[in-house]
Structure 1
């Protein structure tokens, strides 16, 4: 089911999103009981990004109402995506689009955590990385290239040689002393990343690709996958049963969800 401002969406309203591809979004995993971990952070992201992308204010209570409506009758767990865009946006005068609307879609959720992931390092930097925007061509192109090379996804390395993030996930490492290390780089400030940083000892530091490959363990994280171990970066393999990873998975699952 897909709704726009709480009503079934029409094809003509989706065309600008498909053809112009301007907007921003957040995805939230809805648990069996209907709660959402990090719900407040997701709403804060939408409000913040709406100001950046559209120079407009967004009412989070209105968004919550539309999400509640879209979830009625849906099986759980599921993932709900909220996309903020203006159907009147055009390529010639995007600045004229300042009345963004709320598109809500729902899909089924996979198990937590999913199978370990093999990542291929690739030089890539997202546009406006601090915003979770719909401009996914570059990230998905890198993902496709990694998959054609028999990897699961791409791990982005900037032109400065520093590791940043994954295709649609944040990455972190466990150093040889057992401390979680989050890369200091232009990355999307992920909600799951923020939750884990509140519940586990960590540090933020620059990480080169060589340093990443010398870590004791590595993992990907976002709302859909929780804490997903990386089993390899390029030709370097990592353990997927490291005790710190196990602790992080338990810590994440223990975080109470918020109700809509």
Structure 2
């Protein structure tokens, strides 16, 4: 399913998005018409719209458009993409008429198998925005997969860990969850899980991995996914903290879309 401002979308309307790659989005897992952290998803869209286009986005209108893509029962992954079809590549400052593209697909079964990730020195452009510009993230993911891993983990020049290309990462030090203090996207799932267990936010470096008890990735589509390998460091494929966070996340009551 794909609609632009509530109407079937044509190829010509998507041309600008494909050629300029300027816009932002959020992805929501909808279970029986409900979304965990719906207010956070809507606030992200409003915030990013102001950042990229300088105008406000009506969350009620977005919810109305997104609701059209959701069946009454079952689980669906809905992506809301905001872009301006009239954007001029030479004059992006004139882009002030964002449209709402809604696409949907069946949601995958959870939990997913553990991730094996390879670190790469990289930081996303404007990391606080969930941008449609995924070239570098997909390139690094591809290179990691060609090297025998599942995905890439972004670090700075000093080995400070930030995030994955489309997910946040968390660690368990034996007593509390540790979220990396670094420039990254404030994922909705990460923010919801901060109330699920004692946690701290501080810098985390690759050199600390030998002392880590468990690691996990989070986003709305995957929930909580174990990370079983980072570079040459093996981590448990299952751990009590991961079970605890999964149970807590599953127990969060979603809001009606």
TM-score bracket for this pair, using the shorter chain length: over 0.9
Q: Deviations over 1:228-257 (max 9, x none)?
A: 000110111111221111111101101111
Following the alignment from structure 1 to structure 2, what is the Cα–Cα distance between the partners of residues 25 and 68? 16
* Distance in 2 between residues matched to 1:213 and 1:225, nearest whole Å: 26
On the 8 A contact 2:188/2:220 being kept in 1, the answer is yes
Would the aligned equivalents of 2:116 and 2:229 in 1 still touch at CA under 8 Å? yes
How far is 1:213 from its partner? Answer: 4.2
Q: Which residue of 1 aligns with 2:16?
A: 16
Q: 1:72: Cα distance to partner?
A: 4.4
- Deviation for aligned residue 1:113: 1.5
For 1:95, the equivalent position in structure 2 comes to 93
Q: CA deviation at 1:129?
A: 0.2
Contact map agreement 2:25 2:81 (CA 8 A) in 1: yes
| Partner in structure 1 of residue 217 of structure 2 | 220
Secondary structure in 2 matching 1:194: helix
Q: Which residue of 2 aligns with 1:114?
A: 112
- Which of 184, 188, 213 pairs up with 1:187? 184
Cα separation, 2, equivalents of 1:250 and 1:81: 25
- Alpha-carbon distance change, 162 to 102 in structure 1, aligned in 2, over 3 angstroms: same
SS for the counterpart of 1:52 is helix
Aligned to 1:234: 231
Partner SS state of residue 83, structure 1: strand
Q: 1:68 to 1:247 in 2, by over 3 A?
A: same
1:173–1:212: 8 Å Cα contact kept in structure 2?
no
How far apart, in 1, do the equivalents of 2:183 and 2:210 lie? 20
Relative to structure 1, is the Cα distance of residues 234 and 40 closer, same or farther in structure 2, using a 3 angstrom cutoff? same
In the TM superposition, what is the alpha-carbon distance from 1:170 to its structure 2 partner? 0.1
How far the C-alpha of 1:70 sits from its partner, in A, is 2.0
Q: Which residue in 1 is equivalent to 2:26?
A: 26
Give how far 1:161 is off: 2.2
1:68 aligned partner: 67
Within 1, Cα distance between the matches of 2:211 and 2:155?
Answer: 16
Q: How much has 1:90 moved relative to structure 2? A: 1.8
Partner of 1:70: helix, strand, or coil?
coil
Alignment counterpart, residue 156 of structure 1, candidates 150, 154, 157? 154
- What TM-score, normalized to structure 2? 0.98
Structure 1 unaligned blocks of 5 or more? none
Q: How many residues are aligned here?
A: 257
Using structure 1 for the length normalisation, give the TM-score.
0.96
Q: Check the 8 A contact 2:30/2:70 in 1, yes or no.
A: no
**Aligned 8 A contact 2:49 2:55 in 1:** yes
4+ long deviations beyond 3 Å: none
Paired residues of 2:27 and 2:80 also in contact (CA < 8 A): yes
User: Aligned partners of 1:235 and 1:128: how far apart in 2?
Assistant: 30
C-alpha contact (below 8 Å) 1:178/1:244 kept by paired residues = no
Classify the secondary structure of the residue corresponding to 2:80. strand
